[in-house]
Structures are given as structure tokens and as C-alpha cells.
């Protein structure tokens, strides 16, 4: 595992898993409300989301463990807070979109998540270049999700 401690990786894996589970509990792509929404033709099929998110979550956990393992005692608390805020934002989107049925509010939340991703990536890059680079696919996917959410919100103004 190199510079990454097992204890730190276990902690980041648990934190990321908690965010994934919380988000998953808030997701309901089978609801009649969701099926009635007008969606763009470029929306991926439902099964693509698990295929994308599973490795992204694993990468977030590993990148986080790398950054935290090489960070000094002064930088670790700020890194942990940035990661916790990011994971909270990550977990907040599904219930805003699917349970609150509010694509516009979910879009605003995604804007905050994207800002958090940029800040987290910058922090990680300063601690460990590889850790920061490992977050780039996550940031790219959430930018794609933002475009998709924006398209859905635009196509469904009353949703």
C-alpha cells in the first residue's frame, strides 16, 4: 500500500461507504414521478450509474487515504473537514432530487458539490499529486451529472 496506512484507508473507506449508502437510500429511479420526467437522449441507462459510482467511490476512499497519510498533523484536520463536507454534499443530492422531487434544488446542491470537488482536489494535489489526480474522474462525473440535472430541470419546469 506504500505511503497509505491501512488504518487511514479503513477510515476513508467507511466514510465513503456511509455517504454511498445514504445517497443510495435517497435514490428512487423506479418511481412514477421519475419515469414521467422528460430526460435528454444522452442520459445513461440506469445500470450505468452503479458501474460508474462503484469505482469512483473506491477511488475517493483511496485518494483520501493517500492525502491524509502524507499530510502533516497541521493539515490533516482541514483535509478531514473538507472530505466530510464533500461526502455530505455527495450524499445530499439523491434525496433532494428523488425524495423531495426538486430538480432545481438538487441542481443548486450539485453546484455546491462541484465547488467542493474543486477545493478538495486542490487540497489533495498539495498533499499528494497522485491523490489529487485520482479525484479528477469524480469531478468529471459530477460535472456531467450537473449538466444532466440542468437539462432535466429545464425540460420539467413544474417538477
Say if residues 153 and 103 touch (Cβ distance below 8 Å).
yes
Report how far residue 11's alpha carbon sits from residue 13's, in angstroms, rounded to the nearest whole number.
Answer: 5
Q: How confident is the model at residue 4, as a pLDDT? A: 76
Average pLDDT over residues 118-141: 97
Query: How many Cβ atoms from other residues are within 10 Å of residue 22's Cβ?
Result: 16
Q: At what angle do helices 46-70 and 6-25 cross, to 10 degrees?
A: 150
Is residue 1 scored above 70 in pLDDT? Answer: no
Residue 97: is it exposed, middle or buried by C-beta count within 10 angstroms (0-12/13-18/19+)? buried
Whole-number mean pLDDT of the chain?
Answer: 95
Predicted TM-score (pTM) of the model is 0.94
In the structure, how many helices (H) and strands (E) does the chain have?
A: 7, 0
User: In this structure, are residues 113 and 61 in contact, taking their beta carbons and an 8 Å threshold?
Assistant: no
- Among candidate residues 121, 112, 117, the one with its CA nearest the CA of residue 141: 117
What is the distance between the alpha carbons of residues 16 and 64, in angstroms, rounded to a whole number? 9
H helical segments located in 26-97: 32-36, 46-70, 76-94
Distance CA 135, CA 122 (A): 10
Q: What is the pLDDT of residues 26-53, one digit of tens each?
A: 999 999 999 999 999 999 999 999 999 9
Measured CA to CA, the distance from residue 150 to residue 126 in angstroms comes to: 32
Give the model confidence (pLDDT) of 54-111 as tens digits.
999 999 999 999 999 987 788 899 999 999 999 999 999 999 999 999 999 999 999 9
pLDDT for position 124: 96
Amino acid at each position: 500500500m506504500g505511503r497509505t496506512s491501512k488504518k487511514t484507508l479503513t477510515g476513508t473507506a467507511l466514510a465513503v461507504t456511509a455517504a454511498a449508502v445514504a445517497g443510495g437510500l435517497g435514490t428512487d429511479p423506479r418511481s412514477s414521478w421519475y419515469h414521467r420526467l422528460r430526460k435528454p437522449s444522452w442520459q445513461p441507462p440506469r445500470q450505468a450509474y452503479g458501474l460508474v459510482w462503484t469505482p469512483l467511490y473506491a477511488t475517493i476512499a483511496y485518494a483520501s487515504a493517500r492525502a491524509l497519510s502524507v499530510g502533516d498533523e497541521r493539515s490533516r484536520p482541514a483535509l478531514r473537514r473538507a472530505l466530510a463536507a464533500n461526502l455530505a454534499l455527495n450524499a445530499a443530492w439523491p434525496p433532494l432530487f428523488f425524495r423531495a422531487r426538486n430538480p432545481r434544488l438538487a441542481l443548486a446542491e450539485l453546484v455546491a458539490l462541484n465547488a467542493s470537488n474543486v477545493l478538495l482536489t486542490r487540497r489533495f494535489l498539495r498533499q499528494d499529486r497522485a491523490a489529487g489526480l485520482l479525484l479528477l474522474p469524480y469531478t468529471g462525473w459530477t460535472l456531467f451529472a450537473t449538466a444532466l440535472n440542468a437539462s432535466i430541470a429545464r425540460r420539467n419546469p413544474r417538477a
